[in-house]
């Protein structure tokens, strides 16, 4: 039986299936990262983007095309995180601009929608790069239009052909981007798009799939490991306020010693500790006053998922609890751990920075940042996180420092969605760039002049970051083994080796091939001060014309972040 | 036409030798160093001063003793009809206040100019006063013209370290905010009364860019715009940092080629002792007449 049109009900199911399929494959997509860093996250970012839309779509009862289009578009726009996530959200936005005009979709309409999707996505990116999700989408849209022009009416053939073409283009991405070829992977964003299409097609073909999407946060899991007289305890004074639970998807071994260390750490910040380790998952439960600390520590071992944090004090009051739940339903994760005091007093200019690590956050605060969005390479904040931060700051002009190249697009998207405040995104690609940009802000000078100077000064900062490899690969002709340390500069891998200090030093030496005045070193939470000091001494001895400054960054995963300017 | 003498203090950066050539008088500023009194340029050279500063000597500044002010005035009035006295900014020292008080006993023959200048901008005021006197203006007129012009200048100073500002207790609340976790190169400004925080930078190059942009901004917004017809004076000052000051001069000239850079001076020691060595400054003022 050939089907020539689909209605809103069908499209809604297809969308949910596509979202689910992407969500199921996210870990695998994360691994398609060119750099074998511990926090490759394209899969996670795209999945969170599409799931944000899926939740809105799932909440629709008897969707018509207009409401479905709106849910897909606004849900993904607000949930967008990471470059691929933002591009995906723009694809949906363009697609829905066309389909919302119709009750039923046929081949020519879908082809036009694909075209609009690609056009919108290309516009969202300042310098579109080929060999990415954009190219895959473009290839698919072109095939759609060719089929429409050839008079194809059967949607099954139409969709199958589109997916075939998308996969073919995806397979060619390594030929377009040499870095992909060297790393032996296809583009992760493109792969994500293909998974969405495939998921949708499965439903179209009538496969039985579970399409239930959690529209609300998971019901609190029964608290394990608690004393049976929990009721009695509840009436007593609550010492630790937040019941914090999450899963760690391990990306390195977690042996009994790690477990002991981790438990000991947790007991230093809270009680009611449960740490259950499986082969590749650790379940964590702790009552603490600072859930952020627990999660930061956990990030050392892998990626976090299914994060649930409840305020146990408020929970006691049922009314408050109900309110909280409603609020939680409207605002989705993630959890802010930085102490962001909302600025009540109106001011002319405010500052938002994305940062992770106790020391880094403190540096940003000391430089006058009003609101810190916890995140970075390890966790790209969504457009919605940006919008929330913007809302918190009572200022006419707000500067945003994304401090990661994968977050700039989400910040720009937040700017587009903000009408009542003037948002200026300084496109800082690294944390040190952000620090320098903020330092160069001059209160007495106009916003435009500040934007120009800050952007310029940020671009003069060279950054290097040291982390470890999670798999074997070859990049820039450098062989990398699992567990190796890598020094990653602005343009690629600068040094590789098994000794952290040597890799860090070699990275700095590579950076210093240009002329610089000041080297700043921010050491992460896995490095102790003594170790960091010995690196500083070695660098001072080698580059004695240059100031060298050491700061505690406290960032996870990156042992050292170094800047030269 | 009355015969007018010009008096200033050593904060103007005018040396005794230059003073002789210009036909003016320069009061040396006194310094208390480890309990002993020194006079700028008379018994204390720039080199000696920085040597003591680096060795953590206890240095404090004071204003010229009234008797030395009176001695100069009395001597000059034997030969001149009037005196125009141009002390360092009243926002930074009590010298001006004291001079105003002392002048009350001179029946209007001594005119103390309160125009908030220091260093190279003070030096420019002295030159202006000389030209005005030559043009036949009276002491009162010169005072009025200079004071009417007092906001038409600014100085931006990049400080190499916050150490001396903190030590001297001269940090205004705004400047204190610059003392963060990171080592910074603060840029201060002197505009009218006070030395205040203007901006901050991470490196010397960033600080220089900030200062040059600030000067451009002042010319654009306060001094009538950047054009060859609008005459602006520029100057460079430094503390124990002459090579860098000459480089800055070249960079400034490249950015604002239409305007003369009058001086590259060492900052007077009474400023230096609060900001320490390694500072760079750019001053600009609108041409008076």
| CB-side neighbour CA atoms (13 Å) of B75 | 10
Contact status, residue A275 vs residue A283, Cβ threshold 8 Å: yes
Give the DSSP letter of residue A215. Answer: -
Which whole number is the average pLDDT over B261-279? 89
Q: Going by C-beta distance under 8 Å and a sequence separation of 6 or more, which residues neighbour residue A452?
A: none
Question: Which residues in B lie closer than 8 A to residue A362 (C-beta atoms)?
Answer: 181
The domains of chain B are located at: 4-29+64-148, 153-286
Closest CA to A326 of A241, A217, A244: A217
pLDDT for position A315: 56
Q: A517 in contact with B at a CB cutoff of 8 Å?
A: yes
Q: Going by C-beta distance under 8 Å and a sequence separation of 6 or more, which residues neighbour residue B55?
A: none
Task: Tell me which chain B residue has its CA closest to the CA of residue A518.
Answer: B203
Q: Strand, helix or coil at B273? A: helix
CA B8 → CA A170, B127, B278, distances in Å?
Answer: 78, 11, 26
Residue A313 has pLDDT above 90, yes or no: no
CA–CA distance, A474 with A451 (Å, rounded to integer): 38
Residue A221 has pLDDT above 50, yes or no: no
CA B158 → CA A55, A361, B190, B253, B278, distances in Å?
Answer: 54, 27, 11, 18, 9
B181 contacts A551? CB cut-off 8 A: yes
CB pairs under 8 A between A and B: 62
Residue A331 has pLDDT above 50, yes or no: no
Residue A259 has pLDDT above 70, yes or no: yes
The H or E element containing residue A376 is: none
A565 contacts B182? CB cut-off 8 A: no
Give the pLDDT confidence of A460-487 residue by residue, as tens digits: 999 999 999 988 888 878 889 989 999 9
Residue B236 has pLDDT above 50, yes or no: yes
**CB nearest to A549's CB, from B183, B199, B214:** B183
Left (φ > 0), alpha (ψ -120 to 50) or beta: where does B120 sit?
alpha
Q: How close A37 gets to chain B, by Cα (Å)?
A: 28
Contact status, residue A380 vs residue A396, Cβ threshold 8 Å: no
Q: A447 in contact with B at a CB cutoff of 8 Å?
A: no
Q: Which two tokens stand for residue A386?
A: 């940006």
pLDDT for position A23: 93
Question: Which residues in B lie closer than 8 A to residue A536 (C-beta atoms)?
Answer: none
pLDDT for position A246: 84
Q: B185 in contact with A at a CB cutoff of 8 Å?
A: no
**CB nearest to B180's CB, from A367, A453, A517:** A367
| CB-side neighbour CA atoms (13 Å) of B198 | 25
**CB nearest to A440's CB, from B182, B198, B206:** B206
Q: B199 in contact with A at a CB cutoff of 8 Å?
A: yes
Q: What is the largest CA-CA distance in chain B?
A: 61
Common-topology check for domains B4-29+64-148 and B153-286: no
Residue B179 has pLDDT above 60, yes or no: no
pLDDT band at A307 (very low <50, low <70, confident <90, very high): confident
Closest CA to A200 of A6, A15, A24, A9: A15
A457 contacts B209? CB cut-off 8 A: yes
Q: Which two tokens stand for residue A228?
A: 């049976």
pLDDT for position A237: 53
Which whole number is the average pLDDT over A400-426? 94
CA–CA distance, A432 with A435 (Å, rounded to integer): 5
Q: A520 in contact with B at a CB cutoff of 8 Å?
A: yes
Which of A442, A455, A458 to mutate: most B Cβ within 10 Å?
A: A442
Q: How close A517 gets to chain B, by Cα (Å)?
A: 7
CA–CA distance, A464 with A498 (Å, rounded to integer): 17
The residue written with tokens 């019941």 in the block is: A243
pLDDT for position A98: 96
Query: Residue by residue, what is the 3-state secondary structure of A502-563?
Result: HHHHHHHHHHCCCCCCEEEEEECCCCCHHHHHHHHHHHHHHCCCCEEEEEECCCCCCCEEEE
The alpha helices in chain B, defined as continuous H runs, are 16-22, 46-54, 66-77, 95-103, 119-134, 139-148, 163-167, 173-176, 204-221, 242-255, 269-275
Contact status, residue A297 vs residue A268, Cβ threshold 8 Å: no
Q: How close A443 gets to chain B, by Cα (Å)?
A: 7
Q: What is the largest CA-CA distance in chain A?
A: 78
Give the pLDDT confidence of B147-158 residue by residue, as tens digits: 999 888 999 999
**CB nearest to A518's CB, from B181, B198, B203:** B203
Query: Prior bond to A35 cis, omega within 30?
Result: no
B180 contacts A520? CB cut-off 8 A: no
Q: B282 in contact with A at a CB cutoff of 8 Å?
A: no
Q: Strand, helix or coil at A210? A: coil
Q: Does residue B120 or residue A319 have the better pLDDT?
A: B120
CA–CA distance, B168 with B53 (Å, rounded to integer): 12
pLDDT band at B168 (very low <50, low <70, confident <90, very high): low
Question: Which residues in A lie closer than 8 A to residue B209 (C-beta atoms)?
Answer: 453, 457
Residue A489 has pLDDT above 50, yes or no: yes
Q: Strand, helix or coil at B67? A: helix
Q: How close B183 gets to chain A, by Cα (Å)?
A: 8
Which whole number is the average pLDDT over A67-85? 91
Tell me the sheet residues that pair with A440.
none
* Burial A453-485, CB ≥16 within 10 A → b, else e: bbbebbebbbbbbbbbbbeebebeebebeeebb
Instruction: Residue count of chain B, please give it.
Output: 289
Q: A523 in contact with B at a CB cutoff of 8 Å?
A: no
Q: A470 in contact with B at a CB cutoff of 8 Å?
A: no
Question: Which residues in B lie closer than 8 A to residue A368 (C-beta atoms)?
Answer: 177
Q: How close A390 gets to chain B, by Cα (Å)?
A: 24
Q: B217 in contact with A at a CB cutoff of 8 Å?
A: yes
B202 contacts A436? CB cut-off 8 A: yes
Question: Which residues in B lie closer than 8 A to residue A551 (C-beta atoms)?
Answer: 181-182
Backbone angles phi, psi at A66, to 5 degrees: -65, -45
pLDDT for position A312: 72
Give the pLDDT confidence of A138-184 residue by residue, as tens digits: 999 999 999 999 999 999 999 999 999 999 999 999 999 888 888 78
Contact status, residue A282 vs residue A247, Cβ threshold 8 Å: yes
The residue written with tokens 């849900």 in the block is: A75
Percent of chain A with pLDDT over 90: 58
The H or E element containing residue A434 is: helix A431-439
Which CATH fold topology does B153-286 show? Hypothetical Protein Tm841; Chain: A;domain 3 (3.30.1180)
Q: Going by C-beta distance under 8 Å and a sequence separation of 6 or more, which residues neighbour residue A208?
A: none
Please say whether the structural domain B4-29+64-148 has been given the CATH code 3.40.50.10170. yes
Residue B78 has a CB neighbour count (10 Å cut-off) of 6
Residue A553 has pLDDT above 90, yes or no: yes
**CB nearest to B202's CB, from A366, A439, A442:** A439
pLDDT band at A388 (very low <50, low <70, confident <90, very high): very high
Question: Which residues in B lie closer than 8 A to residue A428 (C-beta atoms)?
Answer: none
Q: A439 in contact with B at a CB cutoff of 8 Å?
A: yes
B204 contacts A439? CB cut-off 8 A: no
Average pLDDT, chain B: 89
The residue written with tokens 């020539």 in the block is: A4
Which domains does chain A possess?
Answer: 6-204 (1.25.40.340), 239-312 (3.30.70.100), 343-440 (3.40.50.510), 462-564 (3.30.1180)
């Amino acid at each position: 039986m050939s089907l020539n049109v689909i209605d809103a009900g069908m499209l809604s199911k297809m969308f949910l299936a596509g979202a689910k399929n992407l969500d199921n494959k996210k870990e695998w997509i994360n691994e398609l990262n060119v750099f074998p860093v511990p926090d490759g996250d394209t899969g996670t970012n795209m999945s969170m983007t599409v799931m944000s839309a899926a939740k809105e779509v799932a909440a629709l009862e008897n969707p018509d095309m207009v409401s479905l289009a709106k849910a897909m578009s606004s849900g993904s726009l607000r949930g967008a995180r990471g470059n691929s996530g933002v591009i995906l959200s723009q694809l949906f936005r363009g697609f829905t601009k066309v389909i919302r005009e119709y009750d039923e979709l046929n081949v020519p309409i879908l082809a036009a929608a694909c075209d609009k999707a690609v056009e919108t996505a290309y516009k969202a990116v300042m310098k579109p790069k080929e060999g990415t999700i954009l190219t895959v989408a473009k290839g698919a849209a072109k095939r759609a239009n060719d089929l429409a022009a050839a008079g194809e009416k059967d949607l099954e053939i139409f969709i199958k052909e589109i997916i075939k073409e998308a996969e073919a283009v995806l397979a060619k991405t390594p030929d377009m981007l040499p870095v992909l070829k060297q790393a032996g992977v296809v583009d992760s964003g493109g792969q994500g798009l293909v998974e969405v299409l495939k998921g949708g097609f499965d439903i179209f073909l009538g496969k039985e799939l579970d399409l239930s999407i959690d529209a609300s946060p998971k019901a609190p899991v029964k608290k394990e490991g608690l004393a049976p007289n929990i009721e009695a305890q509840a009436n007593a004074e609550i010492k630790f306020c937040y019941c914090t639970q999450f899963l760690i998807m391990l990306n390195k071994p977690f042996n009994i010693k790690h477990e002991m260390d981790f438990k000991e750490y947790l007991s230093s910040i809270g009680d009611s500790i449960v740490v259950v380790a499986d082969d590749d998952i650790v379940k964590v439960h702790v009552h603490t006053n600072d859930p952020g600390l627990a999660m930061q520590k956990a990030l050392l071992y892998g990626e976090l998922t299914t994060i649930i944090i409840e305020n146990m004090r408020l929970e006691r009051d049922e009314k408050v609890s109900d309110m909280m739940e409603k609020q939680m339903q409207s605002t989705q994760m993630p959890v802010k751990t930085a102490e962001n005091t909302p600025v009540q007093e109106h001011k002319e200019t405010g500052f938002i920075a994305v940062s992770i690590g106790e020391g880094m956050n403190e540096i940003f605060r000391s430089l006058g940042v009003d609101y810190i969005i916890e995140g970075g390479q390890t966790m790209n904040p969504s457009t919605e996180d940006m919008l929330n931060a913007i809302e918190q700051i009572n200022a006419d002009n707000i500067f945003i420092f994304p401090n990661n190249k994968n977050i700039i697009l989400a910040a720009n998207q937040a700017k587009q969605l903000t009408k009542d405040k003037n948002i200026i995104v300084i496109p800082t690609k690294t944390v040190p760039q952000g620090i320098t940009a903020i330092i160069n802000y001059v209160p007495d000078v106009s916003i435009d002049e500040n934007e120009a100077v800050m952007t310029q000064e940020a671009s003069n900062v060279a950054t290097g970051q040291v982390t470890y490899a999670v798999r074997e690969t070859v990049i820039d002709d450098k062989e990398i083994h699992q567990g190796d340390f890598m020094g990653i500069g602005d343009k690629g891998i600068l040094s590789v080796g098994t000794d952290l200090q040597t890799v860090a030093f070699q990275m700095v030496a590579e950076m210093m091939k240009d002329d610089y005045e000041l080297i700043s070193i921010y050491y992460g939470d896995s490095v102790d001060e003594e170790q960091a000091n010995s690196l500083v001494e070695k660098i001072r001895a080698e580059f004695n014309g240059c100031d060298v400054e050491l700061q505690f960054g406290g960032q996870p995963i990156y042992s050292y972040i170094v800047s030269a300017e | 036409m009355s015969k007018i003498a010009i008096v200033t203090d050593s904060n103007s950066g005018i040396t005794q030798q230059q003073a002789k050539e210009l036909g003016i008088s320069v009061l040396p500023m006194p310094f208390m160093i480890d309990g002993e009194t020194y006079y700028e340029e008379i018994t204390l050279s720039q080199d000696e001063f920085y040597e003591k500063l680096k060795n953590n000597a206890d240095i404090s500044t004071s204003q010229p003793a009234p008797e030395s002010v009176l001695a100069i005035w009395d001597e000059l009035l034997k030969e001149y009809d009037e005196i125009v006295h141009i002390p360092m900014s009243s926002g930074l020292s009590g010298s001006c206040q004291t001079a105003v008080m002392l002048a009350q006993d001179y029946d209007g023959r001594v005119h103390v100019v309160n125009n908030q200048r220091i260093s190279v901008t003070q030096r420019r005021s002295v030159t202006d006063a000389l030209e005005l006197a030559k043009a036949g203006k009276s002491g009162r007129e010169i005072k009025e013209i200079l004071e009417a012009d007092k906001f038409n200048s600014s100085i931006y100073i990049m400080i190499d370290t916050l150490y001396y500002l903190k030590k001297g207790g001269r940090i205004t609340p705004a400047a204190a905010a610059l003392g963060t976790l990171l080592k910074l190169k603060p840029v201060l400004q002197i505009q009218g009364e006070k030395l205040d925080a203007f901006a901050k930078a991470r490196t010397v190059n960033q600080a220089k860019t900030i200062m040059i942009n600030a000067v451009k901004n002042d010319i654009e917004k306060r001094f009538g715009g950047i054009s060859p017809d609008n005459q602006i004076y520029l100057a460079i000052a430094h503390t124990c940092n002459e090579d860098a000051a000459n480089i800055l001069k070249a960079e400034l000239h490249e950015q604002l080629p239409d305007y003369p850079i009058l001086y590259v001076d060492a900052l007077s020691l009474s400023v230096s002792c609060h900001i320490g060595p390694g500072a760079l400054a750019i001053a600009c003022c609108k041409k008076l007449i």
